[in-house]
Structure 1
Amino acid sequence: MLRATTPRGRCLEGLRDARVATIRELAARTGLSRPTVEALIGDFEAEGLVDTDVTPAPPSSGGGRPARRYRFRAERHHVVGLDLSDVRQRVAIANLAGDIVHTDLDGPASPRTGTADLTALRDHVARAFEAARLPLRTLAGLTVAVPGIVGGDGRLSHSPAVREWQDVDMASRLTELFGCPVTVENDLVLAAGAEATLGASQFADTSLYLLTWFHVSARLVIGGRVHVGRHHQAGELLALRVLAGPVRGDEGPWTHVEAADARLAAGGPDGLQLAEELTDRMALAVGGLLAAVDPDLVVLGGRLGRYADLLVPMLRPKVAAQLNLSFEYPIVGHALGELDVSLGGVLRSFDTVGAALLRSPDVSTPAISPRPVPSPERTHA
């Protein structure tokens, strides 16, 4: 279903979603006349957005020469989601058609001090493009996910991971560094948006995305949009501690996280004991959130999403008991796994630069394929 209303937007969406089409097929798909489609295709070719498809076409039903087919050049530009919320950087790269053409979940260490060299971020993205056999010059938009509270002006009003970034215009610094538009956003906002668009909560009218380590943080999604609140602090329950350990940007908190992660992964009596302790402490904060917003679905994200099969059966009855309910809220693990934040970054990048790249303000965000697919650049490299 095409969402654009202008002839240019409809023609672009129609060819982008079909990938390859004839003039007649595009006219039928868009409801535009053939002369209008022909004129627009000429414009798109001049702009480098479209070329002639060289793959063999099926024979014409009339026995004549097959109609010329046009291909949307999805590889012309790429957008990136860069996740700095965990110990190691994660990245996802998408082409103009929404194909995820590369991911890296085990990048270099995320910055944790103000003295960290930001060029390391650019180098990581450059290596990801090289690994995907993509020219870095096609990078057209980037969203960087950070822990903390990001205000409406893009500045971090609270930056627990890198305290020196607080009240600094990081988006402008990174835009200059990367040479393309860069957006900085809270990691939970992006993850919640990705799960609502592509993952576990895409069919829920209201959902709550939970992240827990030292405290419970959450984001409420209503009608597909993440609610951040007037001061962009909705869901930041910093006072309700869950895991012992400081909330700082040095090695302290991550040492606690890694130890807890290892205990849960190992299972056994020790892992079960930690799971019981975590869910006991989570139940108070989660119960308060559920009483306030009463969502259709709760999604457990972050690293704890790996252990949803263990934690969810414990958490559901504890939340119900906390609220004195006769039913249990549906709680599930995240569907996108550790890619949820970086995929949310890809979506935000399309929101930020997608229309400008196609020179059409009404073109919708493409359908994102959550898992990497082979790209034309790899096939013909």
Structure 2
Amino acid sequence: MERLTGRDPSLLRRINSTVVLRALRAEARGAAPTLTDLVRATELSRPTVEGVVEQLIGAGLVEEAGEEPGGEGGGARRGRPARRFRFRAEAGHLLGIEIGPHRIAAVLADLTGRFTGTVSHEVDEKATADERLERARGTVAELLRRTEVQRSNLRAVGVGTPGIVEADGTVRLGTALPGWTGLPLGERLRRSFRCPVLVENDANAGVLAERWKGAATGSQDVVMVLVGLSPGAGSLIGGRLHRGFGGAAGEIGALHLLGREATPEHLLSTTDEPLHPLDEAAVARVFSLARQGDARARAAMDRFMQRLVHDVAALVLALDPELVVVGGWASGLDDVLEPLRQELERYCLRPPRVALSVLGEAAVATGALRLALDHVENELGLGEQQVSQ
């Protein structure tokens, strides 16, 4: 392995470039800074800053901005006005895609993470893998067409989907979608793009989104549960995503296999027939009937909540998170929040805060976008800023 030292000129150039680029990016929504401003912000020498800025201009990431109107104090200027520079947020775009049982969603952002467009479409839960992927491609094409962004302008694509996802984007196990187990999803999607494509489990994407723009902003240790008949969870430990050795961390939906006889589909059934695992409308009807006082629905909901509490408590006891965020189809149901909070207080040594997802159904696509943004920030040397902005 090549040894880098503090005297390595290429390393010093990368460090200086990162420092200047961060300062410019931090001012992306404010007044365009001058060289003097950048020298003050970076504590680098003026010749160094000037050289880095010229390199960034050559790379298309920075451009010289116009003179600020009015100038300082609004008086007449003497001599040549100071040059000002701005980070070109439009120099590239980032794409986040959700591929789920019932919907395909895509969201587009510039290089600062500012949303510039979104499109979503329903998809049949019985759609084959090829049909679902074609629906995803069509949704992306529609979004790019609406926003007038060229596909070649994309710098990275993030994807969130159910299942255990390996590092190369292959779905090792995905029971929620037909034909998903063993699907080389990353490879299939990379054929449609000229940029990196990063595939992640949907709950993992969701917890990234909630920390970036949702209920977990500012929190370092978070568990997000996507509630469903087979719930899944994404976890942040010290602000970093915890995937586990093979990407299977948080698959709490499998706990019912540990000697329990009733499957989740039977727990929420108000008849002798199990619910379909992907029938969210049927689940919503059970909760609605329970709120209206239906005895069988209330009993079914209580059974399901008790199982959910046990599943979540297992994660809470193992990880000791500051916060548990509830998302998925239950993200808008207070019926889930309060019982879960009360039961976790009974079972856990240090009960965490419990909150509903702020982002709701947008969480997975938003988290997928965050994956793409993280990739580009790391590529540009901006990774330390990440979600805290």
> TM-score per shorter chain, which class?
0.7 to 0.9
Higher-Rg structure is 2
Q: 1: distance between equivalents of 2:387 and 2:70? A: 28
Q: Does 1:22 align with 2:41?
A: no
Matched letter for residue 248 of structure 2: Q
Moved more, 68-77 or 211-220: 211-220
Moved more, 14-23 or 281-290: 281-290
| Correspondence for 1:242 | 264
Q: 1: distance between equivalents of 2:113 and 2:348? A: 45
One of 365, 371, 374 as aligned partner of 1:348: 371
| Correspondence for 1:373 | none
Unpaired segments ≥5 residues, structure 2: 1-12, 257-262, 269-274
What's the offset of the Cα at 1:310?
Answer: 2.8
| Correspondence for 2:163 | 148
| Correspondence for 2:382 | 363
Moved more, 30-39 or 236-245: 236-245
Q: 2: distance between equivalents of 1:157 and 1:215? A: 17
Matched letter for residue 26 of structure 1: L
Q: 2: distance between equivalents of 1:366 and 1:99? A: 15
Higher relative CO (Cα under 8 Å, sequence separation at least 6) belongs to: 1
Q: Give the secondary-structure state (helix, strand or coil) at the position aligned to 2:179.
A: helix
One of 211, 231, 234 as aligned partner of 2:226: 211
* Pair 324,30 (structure 1): closer, same or farther in 2 beyond 3 Å: closer
When the two structures are superposed, what TM-score results if normalisation uses the length of structure 2? Answer: 0.80
Q: Give the secondary-structure state (helix, strand or coil) at the position aligned to 1:16.
A: helix
Checking the alignment, whether the CA contact within 8 Å between 1:194 and 1:343 is kept in structure 2 is yes
Q: 2: distance between equivalents of 1:117 and 1:339? A: 19
Checking the alignment, whether the CA contact within 8 Å between 1:151 and 1:231 is kept in structure 2 is yes
Q: Does 1:334 align with 2:357?
A: yes
Checking the alignment, whether the CA contact within 8 Å between 2:103 and 2:121 is kept in structure 1 is yes
What's the offset of the Cα at 1:94?
Answer: 1.5
* Pair 182,137 (structure 1): closer, same or farther in 2 beyond 3 Å: same
| Correspondence for 2:172 | 157
Q: Does 1:54 align with 2:76?
A: no
Unpaired segments ≥5 residues, structure 1: 371-381
Q: Deviations over 1:169-210 (max 9, x none)?
A: 221221112232211111111111222344322333422211
What's the offset of the Cα at 1:108?
Answer: 4.2
* Pair 181,329 (structure 1): closer, same or farther in 2 beyond 3 Å: closer
Q: Give the secondary-structure state (helix, strand or coil) at the position aligned to 2:117.
A: strand
What's the offset of the Cα at 1:243?
Answer: 4.0
Checking the alignment, whether the CA contact within 8 Å between 2:222 and 2:235 is kept in structure 1 is yes
Q: Deviations over 1:319-375 (max 9, x none)?
A: 334x287x854211112222221121112112334444xxx4x223766699xxxxx
Matched letter for residue 218 of structure 1: A
| Correspondence for 1:109 | 123
* Pair 324,200 (structure 1): closer, same or farther in 2 beyond 3 Å: closer
Checking the alignment, whether the CA contact within 8 Å between 1:147 and 1:186 is kept in structure 2 is yes
Matched letter for residue 94 of structure 2: V
| Correspondence for 1:286 | 312
| Correspondence for 1:296 | 322
What's the offset of the Cα at 1:70?
Answer: 1.4
What's the offset of the Cα at 1:78?
Answer: 0.6
What's the offset of the Cα at 1:132?
Answer: 2.7
* Pair 311,281 (structure 1): closer, same or farther in 2 beyond 3 Å: same
Q: Does 1:40 align with 2:61?
A: no
| Correspondence for 1:172 | 187
Q: Give the secondary-structure state (helix, strand or coil) at the position aligned to 2:247.
A: coil
Q: 1: distance between equivalents of 2:328 and 2:54? A: 46
Matched letter for residue 303 of structure 1: W
Q: Deviations over 1:29-77 (max 9, x none)?
A: 1112222222222222222222222374341458325422212111110
Q: 2: distance between equivalents of 1:324 and 1:44? A: 52
Q: Deviations over 1:103-147 (max 9, x none)?
A: 33x324278413316343222112112223433331221111110
Q: 1: distance between equivalents of 2:228 and 2:22? A: 42
Checking the alignment, whether the CA contact within 8 Å between 2:62 and 2:88 is kept in structure 1 is yes
Q: 2: distance between equivalents of 1:76 and 1:54? A: 18
Q: Give the secondary-structure state (helix, strand or coil) at the position aligned to 1:57.
A: coil
Checking the alignment, whether the CA contact within 8 Å between 2:25 and 2:87 is kept in structure 1 is yes
Checking the alignment, whether the CA contact within 8 Å between 1:85 and 1:147 is kept in structure 2 is yes
What's the offset of the Cα at 1:16?
Answer: 1.3
One of 341, 350, 359 as aligned partner of 1:316: 341
Q: Give the secondary-structure state (helix, strand or coil) at the position aligned to 1:301.
A: strand
Q: How many residues align?
A: 354
One of 110, 127, 145 as aligned partner of 1:130: 145
When the two structures are superposed, what TM-score results if normalisation uses the length of structure 1? Answer: 0.82
